Amino acid sequence: MLGPIFSVLFSVLLLGDILDLRMVLGGLLTLVGVTVILVRERRGAATAT
């Protein structure tokens, strides 16, 4: 889960990309989506046993 965060961080620091609000919101939306999927998988595994 930290891969995309470090990718954006390094692109800003090393390549000079501009970190704007749209990039931040897109990253947060992506992380929320991944978190929802992980929570659903854990709940499904917990109820299956």
Average pLDDT, the chain: 88
Are 11 and 17 within 8 A, CB to CB?
yes
pLDDT value of position 36: 94
**pLDDT exceeds 80 at position 49:** no
Write the CA distances from 25 to 18, 22, 46, integer angstroms.
14, 5, 31
pLDDT value of position 37: 94
Interatomic CA distance for residues 22 and 44, integer angstroms: 33
Interatomic CA distance for residues 12 and 25, integer angstroms: 16
pLDDT, tens only, 13-47: 999 999 999 989 988 998 899 899 999 998 887 77
Alpha helix positions (H), the chain: 3-15, 21-48
Q: HSE of 1 in the Cβ direction (CA atoms, 13 Å)?
A: 11
Confidence grade of residue 48 (pLDDT, cut at 50, 70, 90): low
